[in-house]
Amino acid sequence: MDSRKIEQFVSAKWDEEIVPQLVEYIRIPNKSPMFDADWVKNGYMDAAVALMEKWARAQDIPGMQLEVVRLEGRTPLIFIDIPAANGGSDEDCVILYGHLDKQPEMTGWDDDLGPWKPVIKGDRLYGRGGADDGYAIFGSLTAVKALQLQNLPHSRCVVLIEACEESGSYDLPAYVDHLADRIGKPSLVVCLDSGCGNYEQLWCTTSLRGLAGGNFTVKVLEEGVHSGDASGIVPSSFRLLRQLLSRIEDENTGRIILEGLHVEVPAERLEQAKEAARVLNTAIFDKFPLLAGMKPMSDDLTELVLNRTWRPALSVTGVDGMPPLSSAGNVLRPHTSVKLSLRLPPTLEGKKAGDLLKQTLEANPPNGAKVTLELEKASTGWNAPAMSSWLSNAIDTASQEFFGAPAMYMGEGGTIPFMGMLGEKFPGAQFMITGVLGPHSNAHGPNEFLHIPMGKRVTSAVSRVIAEHHLASLRGETRGVAAVAGGEQRGDHGCC
């Protein structure tokens, strides 16, 4: 491989085609089904699919087959099958995964920015979905094409782009089962939907947290009443809700106090956390838009890495039953509802955690209040299998070639349901989980952006790893992969 030529081709492809395509993609408000109940009628998802399909079909990749698969009642999935080339193996397979659905708008965008308003400033492309994860299909096909231009061999590649990830990938198991024979037996899975600690190195994700949560409601009255008349007699629903949440979380430290939601951190992951803390230093928290004077939840940088990757953490992401300040009268409200998002350690079984959360919050309600937790998700996380030497060498080589620095490994705090699913269906596969969501890129939030040079380098690195996969296959180092398992996927899945 001439890495210089790879770099030149990928950079030109990004500048001339990928960035303009992503600009048009960002304009499409194709929110995930959880956030757009009328997604079929609105047609935005189909528009995003059509944009990607048109570009992909125009790529000069011999033998490539593309189909937009549509199972009844489900979001569409783009399935691309690229045959082995230049002596590669069709018996072995590489899966490249991404998604095209998006998170909702969120408030707080700068005046000149917006979720559906693509803006390029320097190296950054602002707008919802470019980095999470619209670039995946473009980067995947470009990585393969870069090899073919040098007549380099690669194994068969399958590209899967789903449209339900931000809603928990609940449609994906049906597609994986439906396409089982066509997918075959992958020995390497490349996922481009993760994050990076900085933009100067290739970062690979070694674990993902699970997720449990839903709508938690405390009701005390049939209707609102005069607060001066009732306060001191009728307990506040907000106070009772706060009291119940203290069964889960220490409000002084943020530590989850239910021991059943904790796991022992594996020794290898602990060492990786220490190394990540050493390399990133204060960038661990500097990447967040903290107010002046705000301090992170620990002075120990390693503890901060572990907090966001291997420890449970509770967030309240929505509220109902409270009027806005401008229309808040002197009324003791009948109920308070909040949306709970409880991140789980990677190896904790999601359903077990969800059941524990529900039992803890609903048991023995104070003052006889009506307390309910409607679980929306209970997803098990993912912990990467031991990485084979060929893959770790390939990843480090790619990082040195295209970044000039060694690769780094760290867990991520989010959830990618596809990883746990593939871990079960293909227990012999190796995983390269990487991405472009780095400092200040603010996925899911205001001012989300894609760091364009990072996208180029990650694309080039994937090309190198696919090439090394072929060599490992020749040496027999990728053998022993498992066939696709049939039947229903166990458990529910939570979104990122």
Which residues of the chain are under the pLDDT cut of 70? 479-496
What is the Cα–Cα distance from 385 to 372, expressed in whole angstroms? Answer: 38
Q: Which CATH class name applies to 210-256+310-378?
A: alpha beta
Tell whether domain 3-208+381-474 is in CATH 3.40.630.10: yes
What is the Cα–Cα distance from 75 to 60, expressed in whole angstroms? Answer: 28
What is the reported pLDDT for 494?
Answer: 37
What is the Cα–Cα distance from 324 to 332, expressed in whole angstroms? Answer: 14
Residue ranges, comma separated, of all CATH 3.30.70.360 domains in the chain are 210-256+310-378
Q: List Cα–Cα distances, 442 to 20, 182, 236, 254, 431, in angstroms.
A: 21, 36, 35, 22, 25
pLDDT tens digits, one per residue of 156-185: 999 999 999 999 888 999 999 999 999 998
pLDDT tens digits, one per residue of 192-224: 999 999 999 999 999 999 999 999 999 999 999
* Spatial CA neighbour of 331 closest among 233, 236, 219: 236
What is the Cα–Cα distance from 210 to 491, expressed in whole angstroms? Answer: 12
* Spatial CA neighbour of 118 closest among 275, 230, 109: 109
Residue ranges, comma separated, of all CATH 3.40.630.10 domains in the chain are 3-208+381-474
* Spatial CA neighbour of 237 closest among 247, 227, 229, 228: 227
What is the reported pLDDT for 417?
Answer: 75
Residue 127 is encoded by which pair of tokens?
């707008």
What is the reported pLDDT for 274?
Answer: 97
What is the Cα–Cα distance from 170 to 208, expressed in whole angstroms? Answer: 18
Q: Which residue type is seen at 143?
A: A
Are 142 and 29 a contacting pair, CB within 8 Å? no
- What's the pTM? 0.86
What is the reported pLDDT for 259?
Answer: 96
